[in-house]
Structure 1
């Protein structure tokens, strides 16, 4: 069959994959300006564009234009000309659908203007066009500088609140607090809102207590912060203990001044996933975990682990194990990394981790050859009673960011295969290990094993 004779339904599926399968990253040269066609795309890394489909033949053009889903995910960045504005307007028009109500997923990222009037004005036109479609917003992501504030003012006076917005992501730079208050208030007016992600600028609004009460914490299921103080962390959890399911924090910030406000204990009944990238000290980790009860916790991500602090000896690991024990949760996914690798093995041997199905170790094991061998040996050790692996008997995915020997990884796999009596019964399904050259300390090769289909 000729490709031009494909049924419309099949052609539509091909078009959808063409636009929305974007696994390859686009290489952008910062010294070379992007064409207006590529400043408006479906994703930041898109290598395909639905406009391309309209230039083949009349059938393809009509089919592509009639599919709002090809145009309803819009990533606008580096807006610098009227041509960019026209392209954005074209996408909005084609994304509306036959009833003009097809939901929009918008990402708008602003370059710093440095006083250049034309780019700011064109960017403002894009914002105005986006605001005119506010009743179609399903998810919106904004990365903005202060000179964009005036263009959002029409949003604050719309007669009806946003009705379809389910999630937003905002990152502010040089915005005043009053502007932040109005924009976040408008975004939070949606009764459908369930997911929010705040950049670094939001931290200032919490310090001033300006927007805390306008965010519907008791309706959110997913919350992400760039930075947060522990007192705000606990306060937000207290306001969302019956709804919040996923929480991610890049960094907990502890100010120099003493905060005498007592931090209460909090029970998060539905929290399943918690990610905290960085603690200032182990003492701070202890203070944070010591106030939580997480019976539904299934995923825990600590990619930077617990930093060393010679003056404050209370262990972050002790507080973590205490949290898991009193919560009586069945942790299934765990990510951990720091420079004190030896204590990692002893703590992972705890029965509190026996339900793990996925483990990622971001610690630099390649710099600790003995620890690397010990960890793989521990993963190989069998229980005398059951002849099954003693450590993580349910483990399906193992990711080691750096090891010194690929052979040791393969030996561990062989041992676990033997313990289960063959690949057919083996629980382990996927292994990825970055093998580091000990001489150059550079990646030597990546060992990737998919054991799912082996007999």
Structure 2
């Protein structure tokens, strides 16, 4: 019995020694980690910065919001999670890094599934703040169910939205309330399918002030035009643009990319607050076409216009605009000008004391810059 008792005591002693060794090993490992951290901080001082500063540095490395960073690569927040465990933790805990999302969808079901999962991950990391969304959708019918569950269900968080669609699908809708939406850009590359409604009406968006419609969108999209202060209409016909502009009296900036139409009949467009106007034409659409004759814009200060939008006599067209509007133009930029017309703009400027700068882009190459003082 005494021998058994002695054996038990020996085993207990060994257990105690093993436990003590384990505690020493844990302490040594902890001490090693501390020493390693000190060495890393010495070799890599950036690792010793406070998390708040590192998080701000991360924010500064990405494109400024609302510009969307790439999904991968050095300018992507995902790249920051691959540097080290500490930086990964900091990046994942900063919602501002994940609030701007740009992604493309097309017919491949595997691509749709993976991209949808990626979008859901980013939206989750962005927590509950506003979002900047940029979508390029090809084959919308197959992608829309997933998009509705991952992206369109977040309408209440949209602040900046850019969508490129090849067609309007039956289940595509923007009619719900979007309380944070400030900017909308919609590019529609084909007409709605047969049997669909001919218009897409935007739901309540009280903060919306800026919009860009391209392709077939000006024909089928209805926005709260009177709210807008900035509007772009791209690849649009004048008969589409003019009714829209007549309903948008508060525009301060307007950009028109006009497709010419021989049957166009000018109608008056009064934009009393308009300060900046851009009018261009497609590269393959170079007939002379004077939509500027429709404008009455007394507050106009900056005009960027294609020479093809000035008609046979640029001087007469511009003089008529100034006389009709009573505006005091300060900056004029004419694109696609021929070398022999530069003198016309020089003569024009001499009679406009408010004009400080003329920029003439001479075709086929080179840019002639002519500057004038108010006197």
Return the TM-score normalized by structure 1: 0.62
Aligned-residue offset at 1:354: 4.4
Aligned partner of 2:316 in structure 1 is: 318
Aligned partner of 2:18 in structure 1 is: none
Q: 1:44 to 1:60 in 2, by over 3 A?
A: closer
Aligned partner of 2:87 in structure 1 is: 60
Aligned counterpart in structure 2 of residue 149 of structure 1, from 169, 176, 186: 169
> Does structure 1 retain, via aligned residues, the 8 Å contact 2:337–2:360?
no
Matches within 5 A, 1:426-441: none
Backbone CA RMSD of aligned residues: 3.3
Structure 1 position 233 matched with structure 2 position 241: yes
Unmatched runs of 5 consecutive residues or more in structure 2: 1-40
Alignment deviations for residues 168-187 of structure 1 (CA, whole Å, 9 cap, x no partner): 111113341775756x31x3
Q: 1:45 to 1:365 in 2, by over 3 A?
A: farther
> Does structure 1 retain, via aligned residues, the 8 Å contact 2:257–2:279?
yes
Count of residue correspondences: 321
> Does structure 2 retain, via aligned residues, the 8 Å contact 1:355–1:392?
no
Aligned partner of 1:385 in structure 2 is: none
> Does structure 2 retain, via aligned residues, the 8 Å contact 1:325–1:352?
no
Matches within 5 A, 1:101-140: 102-111=129-138, 113=139, 121-122=142-143, 124-140=145-161
Aligned partner of 1:440 in structure 2 is: none
Decide which moves more: 136-145 or 41-50. Answer: 41-50
Aligned counterpart in structure 1 of residue 230 of structure 2, from 222, 228, 239: 222
Aligned partner of 1:333 in structure 2 is: 331
Q: 1:330 to 1:167 in 2, by over 3 A?
A: same
Task: Work out the CA distance in 2 between the residues paired with 1:289 and 1:223.
Answer: 16
Unmatched runs of 5 consecutive residues or more in structure 1: 23-40, 114-118, 206-210, 380-390, 396-455
Give the secondary-structure state (helix, strand or coil) at the position aligned to 1:162: coil
> Does structure 2 retain, via aligned residues, the 8 Å contact 1:334–1:358?
yes
Return the TM-score normalized by structure 2: 0.74
Aligned-residue offset at 1:392: 0.9
Aligned partner of 2:260 in structure 1 is: 253
Aligned counterpart in structure 1 of residue 61 of structure 2, from 18, 26, 33: 18
Matches within 5 A, 1:16-415: 16-20=59-63, 42-43=69-70, 47-78=74-105, 80-96=111-127, 100=128, 102-111=129-138, 113=139, 121-122=142-143, 124-146=145-167, 149-153=169-173, 156=175, 158=176, 161-176=177-192, 184-185=200-201, 187-205=202-220, 214-241=222-249, 243-256=250-263, 263-264=267-268, 266-278=269-281, 281-282=287-288, 284-285=289-290, 288-302=291-305, 304-306=306-308, 314-349=312-347, 350-351=349-350, 354-364=353-363, 379=370, 392-393=372-373
Task: Work out the CA distance in 2 between the residues paired with 1:57 and 1:319.
Answer: 63
Higher Rg of the two aligned structures? 2
Q: 1:65 to 1:329 in 2, by over 3 A?
A: same
